[in-house]
Amino acid sequence: MAVYLDHNATTPLHEAVYEGMQSWMRSVVGNPSSLHRFGRLQRDAIEHAREQVAALVDAHPEQVIFTSGGTESNNLLIKGLVAATDAKRIAVSAIEHMSVLEPAAHTAPDCVVDSIPANSAGYISTDTLEQTLHADTALVSVMAANNETGVIQDVAKLAACGKKNGAWFHTDASQAAGKIAVSYRQWGVDAMTLSAHKFYGPLGAGALIVNRRLPLLAQQHGGSQEHGLRAGTENVPAIVGFGIAAELAQKQLGQRAEVMLALRTRLETALARIPAVTVFAQQSNRLPNTVQFGVAGFDGETLLMQLDRAGFAVSSGSACTSGKTEPSHVLNAMGVADELALAAVRVSFGRDNTSSDVDAFVQALSGIVDRMSNSAVMMAATI
């Protein structure tokens, strides 16, 4: 039996989303930019999805720019704003996803990128943000919830701080949307990133929610789609699926969060009985579905392989950094020692997981740790 516990990497497509996308993949024809009835049907479907996505995050439909996912949204926002404003300085948190860190790095050498430090609990504080800001800082980007540790930031306070100092404020809410309440309006941000496949929508669909006054230059050219900010014929089936997933997430948010939190609590209670385990940011406000922990004295990659062999799909952190042997930059930013950071395992629950999955996972992990510990002791005895 295979148990999937890697929902922060991607979630399975919801059956209602799949059904809703089917007709648009099989029987509907027409370009959304065409004026005839076939094109208008496609355009109407896109605009309905735009309303559904906006409702999920308390934004206006006109602020929703559809993209291919979170990475494209982050690239459009960072590169597009720097290009539009000729920005000389931006600030991004040290715990951002690579889809923020790398586009920011690629604005150099013309634009300086300042890193906003995180504390040991995984938080970005307004004090450290204030200390990082300069008079010419054009943009601040701090994620709403971390994809590795699950730590949730106080986005509203950080946004107020950044904007008080004259900077535009962006938050990557890819991991937050569908798991916790997200409000573009109440948080007071200027831009927000979303990704459909993080909450049971299709791969290849995302959005950038933008303040229409925010200066932004398109990074993809060849058409006037998406208010001239994202050229190319829209992927109607994926956008339709994105909209359905957003509506389902809004309706089921409380129920999903309650189930996830119960599973997270059950797992952490059991992990406390394994002496080698340290749960990262355990006392912080975190996503209800996320637990990242380190197993002292063990290699994380080996643990993942052993757990996979036992039938459990987990990760060490971000799927976008898999294959790298360096410790997590997120854990490093929190002051976690390299040895323990390299032993990191992330469990992220989904709506189909059960308490039996948790119990079976803990049993498998305990067995692996015991076997590997005994093998290490035997090897040491023979030296």
How far apart are the C-alpha atoms of 140 and 212, rounded to whole Å? 17
Pick from 297, 231, 291, 301: which is nearest to 267 by CA? 291
Say which residue the tokens 């340290």 belong to. Answer: 278
Say which residue the tokens 């058409």 belong to. Answer: 223
Would you name the residues annotated as active-site residues? 320
Strand partners, 189: none
Pick from 179, 196, 299, 194: which is nearest to 238 by CA? 196
Strand partners, 348: 6, 290
Q: Which amino acid is at 80?
A: G
Say which residue the tokens 């189909």 belong to. Answer: 352
Say which residue the tokens 């052993």 belong to. Answer: 306
Dihedral over alpha carbons 11, 12, 18, 24 (to 10 degrees): 50
Q: Which amino acid is at 3?
A: V
Sign of CA dihedral 303, 305, 309, 314: positive
